[in-house]
Amino acid sequence: MIMERFGARLSKAIAARGSLCAGVDPHPGLLRAWDLPEDATGLERFALTATEAIAEHVAILKPQSAFFETYGSKGIAVLERVVELAREAGALVLLDVKRGDIGSTMAAYTAAYLADGAPLAADAITVSPYLGFGSLEAALTAAETSGRGVFVLARTSNPESAGLQGTVTAAGRTVAQEIVDAVAERNAGTAPLGDIGVVAGATIGRGELDLNRLNGPILAPGFGAQGATAADLRALFGAGSPAVLAASSRDILRHGPSPSALREAVFRVRDSLRD
């Protein structure tokens, strides 16, 4: 059982290891680049090599669940091992599952990823609010009860997201801003940092989101391979943001399969964020 809240644990991890969120994304193209077979054996070698090389040097490790699910039960078994190894190395685990549903289905997802004793229980997960922010209540409550966190998709880095997430509602705010504001309400008064974060792409336009009241972590995809730099993150989110996690996967993983090359890539990215 986790005794300390996620926001507090994340704050300590960032202070100790920096703000890099390193992805473990066993994309078929990366397996080929590592000269590994595109099967469960190749997946296991890729994922465990990457995790063992990277996890002890980052605050948070983010496995992308879809690339493990592709291989069925064998892939899920590898994902369980990745979560276990990362935790042994002292990294927090953010499982990128982007789940979002209603009622008993959302409750089942919550039991799979946020309940004590679940084989895939992570420190935090990503969730989608696009069935309505209220549909996430089971996940938000479970995370609070178990000392875990949730990252809610708000303004993502994919180009096709702008049409929906940038739509202005009757309240005069964009859909993305309404999500940020709903998260801010849940985090209000929590110190040193709220347990609910948002996903806001590092490639979005400056001024698109008002994050001043968020009081929670920001997961920023689009960093590295998608073009955003550490300077872009500072310009977009400002020096006052308490926890901006720069998400990078391909930019690091392309340096494998050498463990030392993977570690050196992590150090370069991590140091650029500190500077």
- pLDDT tens by residue, 96-127: 999 999 999 999 999 999 999 999 999 999 99
* SS3 label, residue 149: strand
- pLDDT tens by residue, 176-218: 999 999 999 999 999 999 999 999 998 888 888 999 999 999 9
* CATH homologous superfamily, domain 6-274: Aldolase class I (3.20.20.70)
- Out of 12, 62, 74, 98, pick the active-site residue: 98
Contact 212, 184 (CB under 8 A): no
Nearest CA to 27 out of 180, 255, 250 is that of 250
User: Known catalytic residue: 74?
Assistant: no
Contact 226, 246 (CB under 8 A): no
- Give Cβ neighbours of residue 127 (< 8 Å, ≥ 6 apart): 97, 98, 99, 100, 136, 139, 150, 151, 152, 153
List of the chain residues with pLDDT < 70:
1, 225-226, 239-242, 275
